[in-house]
Structure 1
Amino acid sequence: MPHAIYVTTAEATDRSSAVKMVENAKANLSEVKNILVDAGYTGENFATQIKAIIGATVEVIKRSELHTFVVLPKRWVVERSFAWLEKCRRLWKNCERKLNTSLQMIVLSFISLCYEDFKQVLKSKLQLFLQSKFS
């Protein structure tokens, strides 16, 4: 589950929206020490604003200058979360009329993912319990 989610209109820039998200979720982000971002968030001003709000450092994960495939450290964490959301049909294409509806669909999708993980863990624990009880 993400620490913070913020949905904006298309005209808002990613950097300014990220700063607003951090401001809004300040209480949830009090333990965060490092924020991983892609090259779209470069700039001293962005890093300074984040540092001033929650005291975290901003680490930019840049793509390789070479046009070859290179596994970038830590970038997979963010990409994995977006890939999980692609399983949710309502998020393939944003047809919602209100930003709050889009936000709630994202939250519900993450809750659904957590529930599926919980079911798998519970199922494996139950199998281990039954094996130990009846073996």
Structure 2
Amino acid sequence: MSARRPCPSDLSDARWKLIEPVLAAWRFERRARALDIGRPPEHGLREIMNAILYVDRAGVQWRYLPHDFPPWETIYGYFAKWQKDGVFAQLNGLLRDLVRQQQGRNAEPSAGVIDAQSVKSAASVPAGSQGTDAGKKIVGRKRSIITDTLGLLFAVLVTAAGVQDSTAGTQLLDQVAADHPRLRKVWVDGGHRKYLVEHAAALGIDMETVERTPGTRAFTPFPKRWTVERTYGWLMLHRRLVRDCDTLPARSEALIHLAMTDLMARRLTGENTISWRTPTSPDQTRITG
């Protein structure tokens, strides 16, 4: 079989070196637990990850994967297992720590930003897991995230769009406070309720609400909070995330973790991220910050 022509989303040797140990350890543990080892895996982990990255970046359905990748059933099977075993969240956490250290920061954060984004959902999304964001007039799902002050992802929660920001924020705070005890400051927008501020205080976190300046209509970056808005811009470089297409919210969360893993791996290796945002250079633009 002839070698597959590389795709722009494929992992370079440098980026593969960053994530290979996590995937190799996962496969070793799975095979060690098996009663019958059987024949060796037919497909390499790098090619499987390349196919998953292709779906995330190009926005295609799993069944529409090009035929020179391994069978889509195999690719989706690995994706589902990695999501269930927390591999994507583990990769995101590992690379986030490396990026923070590269920037001269402590690997453990002391401050974060919470925000929510409502997106339309595809026909494949069950009606029971959708909702309506009355403020933004969007029927679909809501992505609530908490990032550090560099815009790097700590946690994500995908819910129906009708879920209140403060309700999702409470779950995010509980998760991040348990995993990152050094966190002591969080910024949110004016859409979050008072009880979330009180819940944060009970966890030992000072939550500050950043309000919009009265009379402001056009988009205006807010101090401290603009980094999380930039994070959503980074995520939109992955076409699979422009609309929520996944049946299970947990699979949507995995694709968000994967997108951030892809972006951080490129930052660590100094590689460019392909984007349509630079009209004078349609091939590449650098994700910085």
**Among 101, 104, 124, which residue is 2:251 paired with?**
101
In structure 1, the partner of 2:181 is 30
**Cα displacement string for residues 34-62 of structure 1 (whole angstroms, at most 9, x for unaligned residues):** 1111111142x21011111x311111111
**Runs of 5+ in structure 2 lacking a partner?**
1-151, 272-289
In structure 1, the partner of 2:157 is 6
**Among 138, 157, 168, which residue is 1:17 paired with?**
168
Shift of 1:32: 1.0
Q: 2: distance between equivalents of 1:71 and 1:96? A: 31
TM-score by length of 2: 0.39
**Matched residues, number:** 119
**Among 253, 260, 282, which residue is 1:110 paired with?**
260
Q: 2: distance between equivalents of 1:91 and 1:72? A: 24
Deviates more, 1:26-35 or 1:108-117: 26-35
Shift of 1:108: 0.1
Shift of 1:26: 2.7
Report if aligned partners of 1:3, 1:29 keep a CA contact under 8 Å in 2. no
Query: Does residue 1:60 correspond to 2:204, yes or no?
Result: no
Which protein has the bigger strand share?
Answer: 2
Shift of 1:68: 5.6
Shift of 1:27: 2.2
Q: 2: distance between equivalents of 1:71 and 1:79? A: 8
Q: 1: distance between equivalents of 2:169 and 2:250? A: 17
One-letter amino acid of the structure 1 residue matched with residue 210 of structure 2: I
1:71–1:111 distance in 2 versus 1, CA, 3 Å: closer
**Identical positions, percent:** 25
Report if aligned partners of 2:238, 2:259 keep a CA contact under 8 Å in 1. yes
In structure 2, the partner of 1:77 is 227
In structure 2, the partner of 1:124 is none
Q: 2: distance between equivalents of 1:74 and 1:55? A: 20
Q: 2: distance between equivalents of 1:99 and 1:31? A: 28
Report the aligned-residue RMSD.
Answer: 1.7
**Runs of 5+ in structure 1 lacking a partner?**
122-135
TM-score by length of 1: 0.79
Q: 2: distance between equivalents of 1:72 and 1:13? A: 21
